[in-house]
Homo-oligomer: A and B are copies of this chain.
Amino acid sequence: MAPTGEGAKKMDEGDRVHSSDYEHDIEIDVNEEIGRYWSGLSDRNRAHSKPLLVKRTNTTSQIAIVGANLSPIESLDYEVFDNEILKNEWRSRKKVEIIQYVMLKWGFALIIGLGTGLVGFFNSFAVENIAGFKLLMTTSLMSQHRYVEAFLAYAGVNICLAAAAAALCAFIAPAAAGSGIPEVKAYLNGVDAHQILSPSTLFVKIFGSILGVSAGFVVGKEGPMVHTGACIASLLGQGGSRKYHLTCPWLRFFKNDRDRRDMITCGAAAGVAAAFRAPVGGVLFALEEAASWWRSSLLWRTFFTTAVVAIVIRVAIQFCATGKCGLFGEGGLIMYDVSSSNITYSVNDILVVLLLGAIAGILGSIYNYLVDKVVRTYSVINERGAAFKIFLVVSIALLTSCCFYFLPWITNCSPCPSGSTMSCPSLDESGEYKSFQCPPGYYNDLASLFLNTNDDAIRNLFSPRIVKEFHISSLFIYFATIYFLGIITYGIAIPSGLFIPVILAGAGYGRLFGRLVESMTNLDRGLFALLGAASFLGGTMRMTVSLCVILLELTNDLLLLPLVMLVLLVSKTVADCFNKGVYDQILKIKGLPYLEAHAEPYMKNLVTRDVVSGPLITFSGIEKVGNILHALNGTRHNGFPVIDEPPFSDAPELCGLVLRSHLLVLLKEKIFSRDRGFADKSILQTISSLDFGKPGSGKGIKLEDLDIKVEEMDMYVDLHPITNASPYTVVETMSLAKAAILFRQHGLRHMCVVPKSQGRPPVVGILTRHDFMPEHVLALYPDIKPHKWQ
C-alpha cells in the first residue's frame, strides 16, 4: 500500500456510505493534501489553458437536502470488470453455456412479463372490488336518504384503508412510499438506494398501492406498477438464494450489475405496459424516462416483455368477461374510447389548442413547484416516526373524503338526458349519472366525478357522447380540488403514483377549457379533456414520445396523434422555462446522486484534476496482506489502483483496478504466499468468477468475517488475477464535462486519472460519481456562477 507522495487524491463512496460520511471525507481532502498539490501545480498552468477557477474553500459539499429522509446509497458498477479470472472463464466457456445464458435472459424476460402482468391485473381486480364495494355501500345508504351514515361509512372505510396502507409502509418497508419511478430511474443511472428493490418493498408496494387507491386518495397505481415490475426483475436477478437452497450454477451469469440493470429496465417497461395496457408505450417509457443507458438488443427484449404483459392482461380480461371477477368490469384497466369524437380541425382550432398547451405548461410547472414544497415539508414530519406518518396519511384521507363527499352538494342537479344508452341515474358502483341527493330523473354531475373510481372519472371526462352533462362550475370545482389534493397527497407514506392525479386534473382542466372556448372551436369536449390530460402530463412529467404513445394506446385512435403531439410539445416547452420535471425534483429531494445526461456548462472550464480528492491509496501488484487489511479498515473506498513496481516492471506502471469486494474474497480464501512473487496458475482453479459475483444486496463478505492470523499479515498476495486490466482512464487535463459524459455513458463507478507528463506516478487520482455532482463541484469552487450557457 502506498499513499503516493505527490499528494494525488482519492474520494470514493464507501460500501453503503451515509451521506454525512461523504461530507467528512471531503473535509479531509480539501484542507491538507490538495492544497499542497495545487500550489505545486498552479504555476504550470499557462494563460490560455488555465481553468476558470479562483480559489478552493473548506465549504463542505451538500449532496443531500435538509429534511429529506436519507437512506444509505451505493453506487452500481456497470463496467465489464476485465480481470484474468473472468477472461479465463470466457475462454473456457462452452457453447452450451452461452445458449443457457441467452435462454435464461429471455426466460427471465418472460417471467418478468408474466409476473408484472398478473400483478397488474390483480391490482386492478382488487381495487375495483374494494372501491366498488365501498361506493355501492355509500350509494345505497344515500338512496335511503341516510346521508350522515353514508358519509361516516364512506369516510370510515377510506380512513381504515388509508391507515392500513400507511402502517404497511411505516413498519415493513418505508422505501415503498411514493411513486418509485425516481428510485428506479436512479438505479438505472447507477445509484442503489437501500432496500429499494427488496422483497418486502415489493410486498408493500403491491398491497399498499391497492389499499391506497381503494381508499379514494388522488393517487394512481401506475408509478407503483413501474416500481413493482422493477422489484420483480430485481428478485430474479439475485441469482437465487443460498439460504433456501435455490441456487443454480446457471444463475451465476446474472450476479453482476449489468445484467440486473437490463432486467430492471424490462421490469420498468412491463410496469407501464401493465398499468396502461400500453406495450409500446412501456418500451418508450423505459427508453425515454427510466433508462440512462440503452442498446438495441435491450430494446428487443423489453419489447418481448411488454408483449407478454399485453397477452397476459388480454387473457385475464377475457376470463373476467364471463363475470367471474366480482365488480371488476371492462373498466378495471384503463382503456378509453374517444374514437367517435370529431377529429377534423381548422387553423382556428389549432390556435385554441396551442393556448390550451401553453396554460397547461404554466399550471404544470406550478404543480411541480408546489409538490416540491409539500414533499419537503412532509419529509420533516415523516422523519419523526411511524405514528406521525400514519397520522399524516389519515388526515389527508379524511380531508379527501370530506372534499369528495361534501363538494357535490354545491352543484345543482341536472336532468337526465333523453335517449342515453346508460341508465340514469345509475345505481351500480360506476356509471356516468350518479343520483347522489338528486330527485329521480336528475343526476349530480360532480358526484359522477368525485364518487367514482379514478378510472371511471377519467372515462366520464373523456366521454364524447354526452354534450352538456358537466356544468362549468362543476368542472372548475373538480379541477381545483383534484389539482390541490394531488399536490398535498404526494409525499405521504403510501405507494402513490403521479400519473392518475395529473391525468384527472388535466382532463378536468381540458374539459373546462373546452367549455370556455366553445364559441371559438368545433372540437369535441371529450377531445379537449384528452388534450388537457396530455398537456398536463407534458407540463409535469416532461416526457414526450412515451406519453404520446401511451395516450394513443389508451384511446386507440391514431388520428388524434398530431394534436396530442402538438399540445405535449407546447406544454413541455413552456414548463421547461420554469423548472425541472417532477421526477427530477423528487430525485433531488431524496438526495440521490443522479448523473444528468448533459454536463453543467461550467464544467467545460474545469479539468478532471480540479475535482479529484484524496488521499489516493494504491496497491502494488504483489502486496502484503497486512497493508491490504489496513487499507480496507482505514477507508471506505471501493476501488484501488494497482501499480506494478520494480523489480516486476522497469518503471512503476498502471496495472489496473481492484475492487474491495474482490479483495475480500481473496483474503477470505487465503491465497497467500510467503515469497513476493507471482501466484501460480493453480489459483485460477481454486477460485472462479462465481466467487466474485456480486451478491444480493446486504449479503457478501464483510471485513469482520475475515480471520487473518498475525503470521499471515506479513505474507504476500498476488493481485493480478483479480485486477481489472482495462479500467477507464482520463488524462488529468481532460475537460470535466467530457469526463462526466464518459462516466455516465459507460455506467462507471471508478475512473482513473492518469498524468499528462512523465516522472509522475502512473495514476494520480480516482474519480467517482460524487466528484461529478454539481453540489460537490460548486462547493469546491463557490465563485462559479452556474448560469446557463447552452
Interface members, chain A 714-754 (any B CB < 8 Å): 720-721, 725-731, 733-735, 737-738, 741-742, 745-746, 754
Within the complex, the shortest CB–CB distance from A111 to chain B, in Å, comes to 16
**B residues in contact with A604, CB < 8 Å:** 82, 87, 90
The contact of A572 among B91, B287, B300, B727, by CB within 8 Å, is B300
Give complex CA distance A24, B754 in Å. Answer: 34
Interface members, chain A 289-316 (any B CB < 8 Å): 294-296, 299-300, 303-304, 307, 310-311, 314
A548: CB under 8 A from chain B? Answer: yes
A678: CB under 8 A from chain B? Answer: yes
Give complex CA distance A598, B258 in Å. Answer: 15
Interface flags for A50-64 (1: CB within 8 Å of B; 0: not) read 001000000000000
Pick out which of these stretches binds chain B: A15-23, A158-166, A434-442, A650-658.
A650-658
Give complex CA distance A735, B80 in Å. Answer: 10
Q: Are B49 and A84 in contact (CB under 8 A)?
A: yes
**B residues in contact with A296, CB < 8 Å:** 288, 597
A553: CB under 8 A from chain B? Answer: yes
The answer to whether A720 and B556 touch (CB under 8 A), given A82-B738, A565-B279, A788-B98, is no
The answer to whether A725 and B49 touch (CB under 8 A), given A545-B283, A789-B90, is yes
Within the complex, the shortest CB–CB distance from A8 to chain B, in Å, comes to 14
Q: Are B307 and A299 in contact (CB under 8 A)?
A: no
Number of copies of this chain that the complex holds: 2
The contact of A731 among B44, B601, B654, by CB within 8 Å, is B654
A758: CB under 8 A from chain B? Answer: yes
Interface flags for A493-521 (1: CB within 8 Å of B; 0: not) read 00000000000000000000000000000
Within the complex, the shortest CB–CB distance from A729 to chain B, in Å, comes to 5
Select from chain B the residue with minimum beta-carbon distance to A683.
B48
Within the complex, the shortest CB–CB distance from A170 to chain B, in Å, comes to 36
Select from chain B the residue with minimum beta-carbon distance to A605.
B87
Select from chain B the residue with minimum beta-carbon distance to A564.
B307
Interface members, chain A 62-114 (any B CB < 8 Å): 80, 82, 84, 87, 90-91, 93, 98, 101
Interface centre among A47, A296, A601 (most CB of B within 10 A): A296
Select from chain B the residue with minimum beta-carbon distance to A46.
B678
Give complex CA distance A278, B562 in Å. Answer: 11
**B residues in contact with A557, CB < 8 Å:** 556
Select from chain B the residue with minimum beta-carbon distance to A572.
B300
The contact of A562 among B91, B311, B545, B678, by CB within 8 Å, is B311
Give complex CA distance A788, B102 in Å. Answer: 13
**B residues in contact with A601, CB < 8 Å:** 90
Q: Are A652 and B304 in contact (CB under 8 A)?
A: no
Within the complex, the shortest CB–CB distance from A355 to chain B, in Å, comes to 17
**B residues in contact with A284, CB < 8 Å:** 284
The answer to whether A303 and B757 touch (CB under 8 A), given A46-B678, A745-B746, is no
Q: Are A653 and B756 in contact (CB under 8 A)?
A: yes
A706: CB under 8 A from chain B? Answer: no
The contact of A756 among B746, B762, B789, by CB within 8 Å, is B762
The contact of A549 among B49, B80, B280, B607, by CB within 8 Å, is B280
The contact of A746 among B280, B607, B655, B742, by CB within 8 Å, is B742
Q: Are B654 and A756 in contact (CB under 8 A)?
A: yes
Within the complex, the shortest CB–CB distance from A685 to chain B, in Å, comes to 13
**B residues in contact with A721, CB < 8 Å:** 48
**B residues in contact with A709, CB < 8 Å:** none
Interface flags for A544-565 (1: CB within 8 Å of B; 0: not) read 1100110011001111011001
A42: CB under 8 A from chain B? Answer: no
The answer to whether A307 and B731 touch (CB under 8 A), given A652-B758, A653-B756, is no
Select from chain B the residue with minimum beta-carbon distance to A721.
B48
Within the complex, the shortest CB–CB distance from A263 to chain B, in Å, comes to 17
Select from chain B the residue with minimum beta-carbon distance to A653.
B757
**B residues in contact with A419, CB < 8 Å:** none
Q: Are A49 and B720 in contact (CB under 8 A)?
A: yes
Within the complex, the shortest CB–CB distance from A747 to chain B, in Å, comes to 11
Select from chain B the residue with minimum beta-carbon distance to A648.
B46
A390: CB under 8 A from chain B? Answer: no
A320: CB under 8 A from chain B? Answer: no
Select from chain B the residue with minimum beta-carbon distance to A347.
B315
Q: Are B280 and A757 in contact (CB under 8 A)?
A: no
A790: CB under 8 A from chain B? Answer: yes
**B residues in contact with A242, CB < 8 Å:** none
**B residues in contact with A730, CB < 8 Å:** 729
Within the complex, the shortest CB–CB distance from A551 to chain B, in Å, comes to 11
**B residues in contact with A300, CB < 8 Å:** 544-545, 569, 572
Within the complex, the shortest CB–CB distance from A743 to chain B, in Å, comes to 12
Interface members, chain A 336-383 (any B CB < 8 Å): 344
The contact of A307 among B48, B569, B678, by CB within 8 Å, is B569
The contact of A762 among B549, B649, B757, B790, by CB within 8 Å, is B757
Give complex CA distance A549, B754 in Å. Answer: 47
Interface centre among A294, A310, A544 (most CB of B within 10 A): A544
A759: CB under 8 A from chain B? Answer: yes
Closest 10 CB pairs of A and B: A653-B757, A307-B565, A726-B735, A651-B758, A653-B756, A651-B757, A726-B734, A654-B756, A48-B84, A310-B562
A residues neighboring B (CB under 8 Å): 44, 46-49, 52, 80, 82, 84, 87, 90-91, 93, 98, 101, 279-280, 283-284, 287-288, 294-296, 299-300, 303-304, 307, 310-311, 314, 318, 344, 544-545, 548-549, 552-553, 556-559, 561-562, 565-566, 569, 572, 597-598, 601, 604-605, 607, 649-656, 678, 681, 720-721, 725-731, 733-735, 737-738, 741-742, 745-746, 754, 756-760, 762, 788-790
* Sampled A-B contacts (27; CB under 8 Å): A49-B725, A80-B735, A80-B738, A82-B735, A90-B604, A91-B605, A280-B280, A280-B545, A280-B548, A283-B545, A288-B296, A300-B545, A300-B569, A303-B544, A556-B557, A651-B757, A651-B758, A651-B759, A653-B757, A655-B756, A725-B733, A725-B735, A726-B733, A726-B738, A731-B754, A742-B746, A756-B762
* Known interface pairs A48-B681, A553-B558; 5 further A-B residue pairs with C-beta atoms within 8 A, sorted by A's residue number: A300-B545, A652-B757, A653-B756, A653-B758, A756-B762
